[in-house]
Amino acid sequence: MTDRIADIWGMRTPHAAGTPWPVRVDEYVEAGVPVDEVDLVRSACVLCSNGCGMDIGVHSGRIVGVRGRADDRVNHGRLGPKGLFGWQANNSPDRLTEPLVRRDGELELVLGSAGSNRIRSALLQVIVNTVDLGLPVQAAVDAPRLHAEDGVVAVEPGIDTAALAATGHAVTRFRDRNTYFGGCQAVARVGRLLSGGGDPRRGGAVVAGLTPDRHTGSTGRG
């Protein structure tokens, strides 16, 4: 296989007009993994909108490689660089699966979000609203958000845009809360009470209750 970072399109497969697009099966398996022990799970790449058909290689309970599906009508076996190599982030020891906020060693806030590039800004703003500003977790999730990218600041209603405009930032104003700003779901712990924050931008819902006593297992209810 060619260097798919330097040559993102890979080996060319020219064909005459009116003839079928030739199959080219791209695959990559982690070095040192015995290929004959890898189980293949049928799937599709979700790292762009094409949805290329692929098999995910699994060994010892983790992803170890991928292979394009020759019978898929979208890609005929081809995979882009993200499809070929993006899965390696799943196994990274530096991967943060969910932000956890602790105070004096006790877990205080757990949250996660959907929203592509806006995940980081959504999570940061909810953390600041909860930890620094002291808002209840639902109010922290509900609060208007902004996101800065490529020199443009996108804002929801309720954000003061005057200061942003005064500093020369280009500002895009949304009319209402919008899924563009992520969908942050959070659970905060106050004493023994768990309080949830469901994001209205993505139909979030909340369930709250008492956590069991760590010694007795009791919730304190009769």
Determine which of 91-105, 119-133, 152-166 has the lowest per-residue pLDDT on average.
91-105
Over range 141-156, report the average pLDDT.
94
* Domain identity same for 64 and 151: no
Q: Which of 33, 61, 93 finishes a domain?
A: 93
Residue 217 lies in a domain: no
Beta bridge partners of 154: 147, 172
Model pLDDT, residue 222? 39
User: Could you tell me the CATH number of the domain that includes residue 6?
Assistant: 2.20.25.90
- Checking DSSP bridges between strand 209-210 and strand 193-197, what pairing results, if any? antiparallel
Model pLDDT, residue 115? 65
Domain count of the fold of the chain: 2
* Domain identity same for 87 and 114: no
pLDDT-derived band at 31 (thresholds 50, 70, 90) equals very high
Top pLDDT among 84 and 114 is at: 84
* Domain identity same for 28 and 59: yes
**Where in the sequence is the domain holding 86, given as residue range(s)?**
1-93
Q: Where are the beta strands (DSSP E) in 70-125?
A: 100-103, 106-114
Q: What tokens does 9 get? A: 């399109």
Q: What tokens does 28 get? A: 């990559």
Q: Which of 71, 93, 115 finishes a domain?
A: 93
Model pLDDT, residue 207? 66
Model pLDDT, residue 91? 81
Q: Which of 58, 93, 128 finishes a domain?
A: 93
DSSP 213: P
* Domain identity same for 105 and 88: no
Q: Are 198 and 185 in contact (CB under 8 A)?
A: yes
Model pLDDT, residue 175? 94
